[in-house]
Amino acid sequence: MMRNDKRHMLDGASRTSTGGWLIATSDSTNMGKRLGLEGDHGTCPACKVGGPVYNDCDPRWTDMGKSVLVEGARVYCQCKEKPRVFASQYTMSSEVVSGNVKGAAAGADSKMPYTHNNLASRTTTPDAASLAAYEADPTMICPNMTNAEFYAAVMRVRDIAVAHMEARLMELARWSESDKDKVRIWFTNATPDIRKRLREGITRIRKISLSLTEKNFERFSEEAVRRVGCVPAAGKGDEPAWASVCKSDKTFAIFIGTTFCYLHEEKRNYQGIIENVSSMTTVFIHEVSHFPAAMDTVDRYSGIKAARLLAKLRNRFVIENADNIAAYVADVPNW
Ligand SMILES: [Zn+2]
Ligand SMILES: [Zn+2]
């Protein structure tokens, strides 16, 4: 069922149901306050962690390529019940579509961050017409979405990944027993050397991630990989069907294969806990970590499950294995 309505927009004065604040980042303002955009951070005094804020509907109004936040949005923090964000002003509103795929997913039970799940609606096989369009148009990045949808998704994924990097950097600075345990899951040891390598490496991955724009992402093709200085056939490691990079490429191009297009942006279970599988977020971190200016990681072993097993087996290469870095940064939990 499609239903259009209007909702007040959220801004830097918006409070949450746990007494937190929305850190609004849009360059657009209303009465001197910045408007909020999807992916902006919401603080949370209840869990003391906070998290990205996402709508439970689909506002028509976008800014800097992202949807504006409207009342009803939730903070995807560590709390079991995700806090709501309330409007602080009643002069600006956006028309929203409810009851579409996004709205339906969030309607009855909004525990799930729908923007992380809305790709579920795109994970079905594209129809024959979309596939034919994808075959005919080499500029089309994914067969199951338009390039505009892909760019919006991948920039959202970048923001989710950066929020994770900031959380891990905070933990590496704090260095409590549970912070060390998290490092041991993926890197066997929580030595000063491992801590230093992670702090410096994740700082560099974050910086490169923030510098990426939609121009950094393109459809995988052998010609494109050659253009940035690699020989596709000779390179082992990444499966081009997922995503790949050329390590010597100073422009940080990330080549997208069709498998990537069908992943969840971030895979969470019904309780909001991140699942032990690859997602666009883990693949994004994996790829950026490969660049020598990031952590110069390699693909000795691939897969999140293999990464955990290797750490258990005290494999000495875990600190340079891309999937170990990806799983740690993406906060795949210890079960
Ligand atoms: Zn919370
Ligand atoms: Zn790789």
Task: State in Å: Cα 67 to ligand 1 middle.
Answer: 22
Instruction: Give 178 Cα–ligand 1 centroid separation in angstroms.
Output: 18
Report CA(63)–ligand 1 centroid distance (Å): 26
Which one-letter amino acid corresponds to residue 323?
A: D
50 Cα–ligand 1 center, Å:
5
Query: What are the two backbone dihedrals, phi and then psi, of residue 236, each rounded to the nearest 5 degrees?
Result: -105, 170
Ligand closest in space to the Cα of 16: 1
Q: 48: CA distance to ligand 1 center in Å? A: 6
Give the integer Cα–Cα distance in Å for 269 and 276: 10
Long-range contacts of 198-204 (CB under 8 A, 24+ apart): 198/168, 198/172, 198/328, 199/169, 199/172, 199/173, 201/289, 201/294, 201/295, 201/325, 202/165, 202/168, 202/169, 202/172, 202/295, 202/329, 203/169, 204/293, 204/294, 204/295
Q: How far apart are CA 333 and CA 327, in angstroms?
A: 9
CA of 21 to the centre of ligand 1 (A): 11
Q: Which ligand has an atom closest to residue 242 CA? A: 2
Task: Determine the residue type at 242.
Answer: W
In degrees rounded to 5, what are phi and psi of residue 311? -65, -40
The alpha carbon dihedral of 48, 163, 279, 267 has a sign of positive
Expressed in angstroms and rounded, the spacing between residue 203 Cα and the centre of ligand 1 is 25
What distance separates the 2 farthest-apart alpha carbons in the chain? 59
CA of 188 to the centre of ligand 1 (A): 29
- Alpha carbon of 244 to ligand 2 centroid (Å): 6
57 touches 97 (CB < 8 A) = yes
Distance between alpha carbon 96 and the CA centroid of its chain, in Å? 24
Type and span of the H or E element at 231: none
Q: Supply the pLDDT for residue 81.
A: 86
CA 318 to mean position of chain CA atoms: 23
DSSP 249: -
Minimal CA–CA distance to 64: which of 28, 31, 32? 28
What confidence score (pLDDT) does residue 129 get? 78
For residue 265, report the distance from its CA to the centre of ligand 2, in Å: 18
In this predicted structure, what is the pLDDT of residue 305?
A: 85
Indicate which ligand has the atom closest to the C-alpha of 301.
2
Check residue 61 and give its pLDDT: 84
**Ligand 2 centroid to residue 23 C-alpha, Å:** 33
Query: Please, what are the averages of pLDDT over each run of 10 residues along the chain (335 residues)?
Result: 73 89 87 88 87 86 85 89 88 71 35 34 61 89 92 95 95 95 95 98 97 95 90 62 90 93 86 83 96 94 87 91 96 75
